[in-house]
A = this chain, B = another copy of it.
Amino acid sequence: MKINVVKNVLDANDALAGENRRRLDEAGAWCVNLTSAPGSGKTTLLERTLPVLVREGLSCAVIVGDLQTTRDADRLGALDVPVTQINTEGGCHLSAPQIAEALQGLPLSTLRYVFIENVGNMVCPAGFDLGEHARVAMLSVPEGDDKIAKYNTLFQPADAILLNKIDLVEMLGYDTARVYDDLKRVNTAAPVIELSCRTGEGLDAWLDWLRRRKTRPYAK
């Protein structure tokens, strides 16, 4: 009984995720689902990313999921892009129906990128297709160098992996080689982009990845 219900929920989610992707494709907007643990730096990454893209004429919008507050939306609202907040009321991940509703409120045909900032959680968001074109999974140095293997369900389906806060590698004795070694068993296809949203190091590589993805046809 329980398993059937869960399967139905996932089937319904995936069907609607396909719808979301079709809508985005028709509008010509390319969508990123950004996932990480709480406090890895998703909002800060978007704060650093969006102004650069917008300056280049690449218009953006953000859909941001939060359990309770509007703090991330407030931070992103200070940028000059449409921001839609999804309050999950304690829910542990975003789902395709929530994204479908959020997309209705966005001027899709004018957008090149739609960034989805998922709920901070290394477990549950992994199981839910939202209709994105690419999944980006971020980890951060202070979380420790064992996260790829421990939370492999998040990193296995990722199209790109961001390693944030690399300015702290030396101070915290972080073993970057261990991350790459674990990735050999988890995900060998995704590029790993090391960066620091604080110092700005590595942000160019991330922006280049975004720019190149946008100009290529994407097949899910």
Q: Which A residues are closer than 8 A to B by beta carbons?
A: 1-2, 5, 9, 37-40, 66-69, 71-72, 90-92, 119-124, 140-144, 146-147, 149-153, 165, 168, 171
Residues of B within 8 A of A68 (CB): 149-153
Q: Is the CB of B1 within 8 A of A143?
A: no
Residues from chain B with a CB closer than 8 A to the CB of A147 are 38-39
Query: Would A71 and B38 be within 8 Å (CB), given that A122-B121, A124-B124, A142-B142 are in contact?
Result: no
B92 and A150 contacting across the interface, CB-CB below 8 Å: no
Report whether B67 and A150 are in contact in the complex, using a CB–CB cutoff of 8 Å.
yes
Of chain B, the residue at the smallest CB distance from A71 is B146
Q: Is the pair B5, A38 in contact by a Cβ cutoff of 8 Å? A: no
Given A90-B123, A122-B120, A140-B142, do A38 and B2 touch, yes or no (CB 8 Å)? no
Q: A92-B92, A123-B92 are in contact. Are A150 and B9 (CB under 8 A)?
A: no
Min Cβ gap A165→B in Å is 7
Leading 3 A-B pairs by shortest Cβ distance: A39-B143, A142-B142, A92-B123
Of listed A71, A90, A120, A153, residue having the most chain B CB within 10 A: A120
A120-B122, A121-B123, A124-B92 given; A67·B2 CB < 8 A: no
Q: Complex: how many Å from CA A72 to CA B144?
A: 12
Nearest chain B residue, comparing its CB with the CB of A75:
B146
Q: Could you show 24 A-B contacts with beta carbons less than 8 Å apart? A: A2-B5, A2-B9, A37-B39, A37-B122, A38-B143, A38-B150, A38-B151, A39-B140, A39-B143, A67-B151, A67-B152, A68-B150, A69-B149, A71-B146, A71-B149, A72-B150, A91-B123, A92-B124, A121-B121, A121-B124, A124-B124, A142-B143, A142-B165, A171-B171
Contact B168 A142 (CB under 8 A): yes
Residues of B within 8 A of A5 (CB): 1-2, 5
A124 partner, pick from B66, B72, B123, beta carbons under 8 A? B123
Residues of B within 8 Å of A9, CB to CB, are 2
CA distance A171 to B123 in the complex (A): 29
